[in-house]
Amino acid sequence: MKCAALIAFGIAAVAQGQELGLMPMPKKIQMGEGLLPIDAGFSIETRGVEDARVTHAIERLQGRLSQATGIPLNFANRSGKPAALVVESQHAGAAVQKLGEDESYTLEISPTQARLTAPNALGILRGLETFLQLVHSSSNGFAAPALSISDSPRFPWRGLHMDVSRHFMPLDIVLRNLDAMAAVKLNVFHWHLSDDQGFRVESKRYPKLHERGSDGQYYTQDQIRQVVAYARDRGIRVVPEFDVPAHSAAWLAGYPELGSVPGPYQIERTWGILEPTMDPTKESTYTFLDNFIGEMAPLFPDDFFHIGGDEVNGKQWNTSAHIVAYKQREGLANNDALQAQFNRRMQAIVRKHGKRMEGWDEILNPDLQRNIVIQSWRGLKSLAEAARLGYSGLLSTP
């Protein structure tokens, strides 16, 4: 009976969330009686720990509510009456947003006042999005329903993967997607910045990466900083992906000496599992990648750094005489073993620069240290195997 009651409660909460037009649906909703009017006198009071993210979020709320309702909202309290919305953040958030940081909040709305409280700015950001979704037109204008919401995310990692390598996205489109992510409480922007079809970040250390690998379509380092700051302001972490050792034609267009077979190389105009692959037997390959990651790491303050690692078809490794000889000399049974060796070197490089390595499920190998993250794009089977071996895992869905 207890189980049945829990299921019934869950169904009721889902139904309430759907009726209210909330996405995602909060963890717990208790409906009240009446409506809180949204009119020209609507004001907001902030209490507790100050955080620029909260200030900016309230400014955005003002603009979005004004646009949605047509009411010229100011939010300044000039009447001396109690504020219509009281926002209170109890503690300072982390300077660099962390995986698992508290995003919970409570939202209490009565016909006279709404109160939003949270442990930190992240919870306030999430609660303001919920409040905005609750505003609707009524017979007497615009209003929010009286209710009580207690909410926290089910998953600490809720991401959007944007592949700007195969299809470049201008900066304004990237920022617009971050706005959309914030609206539905997604908190990780997985930015796929290199592939066979394009290398999309300015490198001052290795400028031929973007000069020859992008068709002129890339983000400057200042633009990268702008995106990271814009995302943080909305409670979103930015995890960069630079795909190695395969999907690397754009790398090799500028630096063919990294390739497993002699160049020249050019960025690819077709899709698929293509042949260009970095040479994992040369020490110079690791020196290059060490220097490159050392340049990129400060641009992306998040703890995680994605190395790709997917779809190594092995053709170049099998046709290169010196790579074949290397595998024999090192006692590597196949290309999977060679890639595992490459990934161990990459893990050390990523860790050296203060990051935690992440990669697609093809990098899964029991010889890798357990602090990496396996991201499965091939379904639950790979994710289950990663968990069985003791790795943290992410499930990507199309």
Active site residues per annotation: 195, 247, 311
* Count of C-beta atoms within a 10 Å radius of residue 96: 12
Tokens of 28: 């717990």
In sequence order, what are the beta bridge partners of 151? 105
Closest by CA to 139, choosing from 41, 21, 35, 33, is 35
CA 317 centroid distance within chain: 33
Q: Is 395 in contact with 344 (CB distance < 8 Å)?
A: no
Q: Name residues whose C-beta falls within 8 Å of residue 25's C-beta, 6 or more positions apart in sequence.
A: 13, 14, 16, 17, 18
Report the distance separating Cα 125 and Cα 160, nearest Å. 18
Q: How far apart are the first and last CA of the chain?
A: 37
Q: Name residues whose C-beta falls within 8 Å of residue 113's C-beta, 6 or more positions apart in sequence.
A: 36, 82, 83, 84, 85, 86
